[in-house]
Amino acid sequence: MATYWTVPKGAVGGSIWSSAAVTRGNSDTAGGDPGDSFSIVRLAGQTLQRRGLWTVPNLDGTDSDFGGSPTLFSADLGDGKQTPLVGACNKDGNYYVLRSRHP
């Protein structure tokens, strides 16, 4: 059993509202509330240690959560190869897509 804190232990706030998207050895989460939880976070599957983090640049306001589960999919990015991706919808109205190996 492991725990990942989106805010410092004992702090108020910070949450992950939805299911994680799980790939081989990794878990991608998208959360709500300030701290890491305003981000798409890549966690190690066994230990839940943070492997990567991406936050919407230039956040405007305090309601820029990712309220739903991230989606795993693949797409051709113009090189004829399928690239593994992870995407999540933010309350700012945008669906953000990242290479799943580099959140």
Q: What architecture (CATH level 2) is domain 21-57+64-99?
A: Beta Barrel (2.40)
Looking at residue 95, what is its pLDDT? 92
DSSP string, the chain: -----SS-TT-S--B--SPPEEETTEEEEE-BSSGGGGEEEEEETTT--EEEEEE-TT--SS---B-S--EEEEEE-SSSSEEEEEEEEBTTS-EEEEETT--
Residue boundaries of the structural domains of the chain: 21-57+64-99
Q: Give residue-wise pLDDT tens across range 17-73.
A: 777 788 777 777 776 555 676 788 888 888 888 888 888 887 766 677 887 889 999
Query: Is the pLDDT confidence value at 75 over 90?
Result: yes
